[in-house]
Structure 1
Amino acid sequence: MLRPGVGKSLLMVAKKILYEGRVQGVGFRFGVRQIAEGFAVAGYAANLPDGRVEVLLQGERGEVEGMEKEIAVSHLEGFIRKQEAEEVAVEGGKKGFQIR
């Protein structure tokens, strides 16, 4: 089911997003998972040793892009200093959104 304002493309994409800033030890990954509940995406949020958080989103293009935008304007916005995103290969069999 598509929400108003979310792209209608059925093309599956995967996107890896690296968030930099005060993103560890503040509930950032849990906030991302909470946002994911409102989108038809699979993936994960994981702390990296260098202090960044890696988020992988996979789903229909409109859902992935919608979630990426929602993170940027959510209560998590104040923790993000920089973000880098790149499309990566879609992996079959991914279901649900996990915290790693």
Structure 2
Amino acid sequence: MNCWFEGHVQGVGFRYQTVSVAKGFEVTGNVRNLIDGRVLLYAEGAEAEVREFQAEVAFELQDYIRETEIQTDSGARACQSFRIEQ
């Protein structure tokens, strides 16, 4: 799943909070700032787990998010952990 968060999502600890939330879920992937001011969350795992993880991130950081775009995909897992990417 790719999820783009738009709003006041950079410079507020958004990526670090997302990593903290990920510790409570069985997901792998990464989160990174984009040049256009959005944050991209990429998560792999069981579909229900990934959706719950995304929903929890959106809930915990709702004060910073103005818009969310989600794109789901299936395939082999490529990540072994969840981390911040530069």
State how far apart, in whole Å, the 1-side matches of 2:46 and 2:64 are: 27
Q: Output the aligned Cα RMSD.
A: 1.1
- Mapped contact 2:28–2:79 kept (Cα < 8 A): yes
The equivalent of 2:73 in structure 1 is 88
CA drift of 1:68 comes to 1.1
How far did residue 41 of structure 1 move?
0.2
**TM-score, L = length of structure 1:** 0.80
Aligned length: 85
Corresponding residue to 1:57 among 35, 43, 46: 43
**Structure 2 unaligned residues grouped into runs of 5+:** none
1:40 maps to 26
After TM superposition, the runs of 4+ consecutive aligned structure 1 residues lying more than 2 A away are: 88-93
Amino acid at match of 2:13: G
Contact kept, 8 Å, 2:30 with 2:83, in 1: the verdict is yes
**Distance (Å, rounded) in 2 between the aligned partners of 1:50 and 1:36:** 24
Q: Secondary structure at the match of 1:78?
A: coil
What whole-Å deviation, never above 9, does each CA across 1:53-82 have from its counterpart, x for those lacking one? Answer: 0000100011101101111211x1100000
